[in-house]
Amino acid sequence: MIIFRYLSREVLQTALAVTSVLLLIITSTHLIGYLADAAAGEIATSVVLQLVFNRIPLFLELLLPLGLFLGILISHGRLYLDSEIVVLQACGMSNWRLLGYTLGPGLLLAIIVAFVSLYLTPTGMFKAKTIVAEQQNRTELDMVIPGAFQTTKSGQVTYAREIDEQGRLVDMFINGRTRTGEPFVLSAPIGVQRFIDGQGRFLILENGYRYQGQPGEEVVEELGFGEYGVRLPDPQLSAPIRHLDAIPTTELLSATDAPRVSRLHWRLSLPFLAIVVVFLAVPLAKTSPRRGRYAKLIPSILIYQLYVAALTGARSSVEQGDSGPWMIWLVHLVALLLALSFTRFERLWVLVLHYIPRLPKLRSKGAAS
C-alpha cells in the first residue's frame, strides 16, 4: 500500500502539473481571440471570461488523458533514472504489478473524464453558445465602445465619448451614406435608444447637427435639429442551439441520426481513453540511466498522436455515416491490444523502438568539439 500511494502521488502530481500548463496555454490562446473580438465590438468585454470558462471542460476532455500519459512518462522516467523501480523489481515487483499500481490514478482520472465529457462539457458549451447567440443578436447601439470609432454592420462609422449612468450615449457621432451614396455626418451631445410602437427601435439624437455633402466641396448642407431619429435594424432571432457539443447526453441517448450517435459514443469512450493511456505509458516509460529520462519521449508522443488521430478520424467517419459507432470502440481495442503487447512482448518492442530516433544528447560546455 505504501508503494501504491507513493507511485500514485508521483503520477498524479506530474499529471496535474502537465495538464495545468497545457490548459493555461490553450485558454490563453482563446482568451486572446475573444479579447480581439471584444476590441472590434463583436462581443461585450463582460462576457469574455465567461466564454473562456465555459469552454474549459471541452479542453479538459483530451487534456486530462494527455496529462496522465505525459505524467506517467515523466514520473516513471525519473524513477527509472534514480533506479527506484529497479530496486522495486529486485524485491519481486513485476511489470504487470507496476502496471496495476499505476492503473489506480488512471481509474481516478477516467471517472473525472467521464463526468467532464458526459455532463460538464455539454453544459458549458450550451452556455457558451447561448452567450455567443446573445452577442450576435445585439443591436448596433449595444456594440458601441466608448471612446472608439467602430464600423457597424450597415457600414456606418459610430463614435461616443462615453455612456452615462442612464445608458445614454454622450457626444455621439455617426458617419454614413444616404441611399443615393452621398456622405453625411450626424453629431449630437446625447443619443438615446427608444422603441416606438408599430415602427420599431430608433436612436434618437438630441440637439445636434446633420452635415451632408461631398468631401472637398465648398458647399455643405447643415441642418440643426432638436430630435433626429435613426432607424435601428431589428435583432435577428437566433435558431435553437443544436451544436453537437452543446446537446445534453440524456438527449443523445435516444438519438438515431449519425452525427448525434457519433457524439454519444465519443463521450462514452473518452474515459476508456484515460485507461488505455496507462497501458501505453507504463511500458513506454521504461528506460535506463544511461539513455536518460526522456529517451523514449518522442516515439511515445508519436504513438499517442496516432492513437488520438485514429480516434478522431473514426468519429468523423461515424458522423458522416460511413461506418457504425463500433469504429470508435475498435480504435480503443486496437490501442489496448497494442499497449498490452508492449508489456507482454517487451524484448521485441525494445528492438523496434531502438531504431526510432531519440532526443539528441546535450553536450556540456566543456566537452571537446
Q: What is the 3-state secondary structure (H, E, C) of 97-110?
A: HHHHHHHHHHHHHH
Are residues 174 and 155 in contact, defined by beta-carbon separation less than 8 angstroms? Answer: no
Q: What are phi and psi of 358, to 5 degrees?
A: -110, 170
The continuous run of DSSP H or E covering 137 comes out as none
pLDDT tens digit sequence for 309-340? 999 999 999 988 888 899 999 999 999 998 88
The type of residue at 316 is S
> Mean per-residue pLDDT for 251-267?
89
At 4-34, the pLDDT tens digits run: 888 888 889 999 999 999 999 999 999 999 8
pLDDT at 362 over 50: no
Distance between CA 128 and CA 139 in Å, rounded?
19
How far apart, in whole angstroms, are the C-alpha atoms of residue 180 and residue 183? 9
Annotated domain spans of the chain:
2-136+247-354, 150-231
Closest Cα to residue 200, out of 159, 230, 163?
Answer: 230
Sign of the torsion formed by the C-alpha atoms of 163, 167, 170 and 172: positive
Q: What is the pLDDT of residue 359?
A: 46
Q: Cα(144)–Cα(42) distance, rounded to whole angstroms?
A: 10
How far is it, in rounded angstroms, from Cα 170 to Cα 174? Answer: 12
* Region of 181 on the Ramachandran plot (φ > 0 left; ψ -120 to 50 alpha; else beta): left
Q: Is the pLDDT higher at 315 or at 285?
A: 315
